[in-house]
Copies of this chain bind each other. A is one copy, B any other.
Amino acid sequence: MKHDAMHMAGKPTLGFRPLYRQVRDILVKRIADGVWQAGQMLPSEPEIAAELDVSPGTVRKALDEMTAENLVVRRQGRGTFVAKHDDARILFQFFKLIPDSSVREFPDSKVLNLTSGINPEAASQLGLGRRDCVLVLDRIRTLAGQACVLERICLPAALFPGLEKREVPNNLYQLYAMEFGVTIGHASEKLKAVAATGEEAQHLGVAVGEPLLRVDRLAFSLDQRPVEWRVSLCRTDQAHYISDLR
């Protein structure tokens, strides 16, 4: 009775999704749509199960996957909560640069520039039309008292209306989620070592030609669409980028 979906098409296995994955999709969509907001507690597993008319174990398996993706946080005896980008664990999910000889810390930011306009290269990266409006934010970040990262962040203007006229906070991904309903789910980064150009060197306080770590990041929202393109140039003389291979 529960497997009607798989028998609708001609071939049973084509287009079939397990029940727990369908449940997962429903729950993810609710978070993406802001029905359940960051930090908020979800209904209990039995409640969700009753509402969707599945067994609690199936809901649980859906939440297992979402936990593995850092989308929700579970606490036994308390409940299940939508992951928030200011939790210590989630904060460093997307910030991989740490000082060589001290504990992990979150950097300060100073905005250099914030404009909007046509930008074919960024539009292409973000999967937009060549003439779609793109927001471009330049800023410099400070780690352990030293100017350390110079970055350019490109966003689809359509998704972030009014961002230009706003005070830009340090924690961008929290802003995206709270004010614009855009939750970053994952990102893929490409790293290179490059030589500092004149302007870059000046901003970071290093000599021209000095090696910098160039991090090219494309970040995706919960519905798997690219929503941020970011290129960061990092001094790595007193810090390093960490990557865990499992």
Contacts and interface: CB of A to CB of B under 8 A. Distances in A.
Interface of A: 68-70, 93-94, 96, 185-195, 209-214, 216-217, 234, 236-237, 240-246
B187 A245 contact: yes
8 contacts: A93-B246, A188-B243, A191-B213, A191-B242, A193-B194, A193-B213, A211-B211, A216-B240
A22 to B, nearest CB: 19
Nearest to A246: B186
Given A96-B243, A193-B214, A194-B211, 4 more contacts: A185-B246, A191-B242, A192-B241, A193-B213
A13 to B, nearest CB: 11
A191 B240 CA distance: 5
Contacts of A69: 246
Contacts of A68: 68
Contacts of A191: 191, 213, 236, 240-243
A154 to B, nearest CB: 18
A217 B94 CA distance: 20
Given A209-B209, A211-B211, A245 B189 contact: yes
Nearest to A244: B188
Contacts of A192: 213, 236-237, 240-241
A69 B209 CA distance: 41
Contacts of A236: 191-194
A73 to B, nearest CB: 15
A193 B212 contact: yes
Contacts of A94: 245
A189 B214 CA distance: 17
Nearest to A97: B191
A189 B242 contact: yes
Contact of A242 (B93, B190, B194, B209): B190
Among A68, A185, A192, A216, chain B packs the most CB atoms within 10 A around the CB of A192
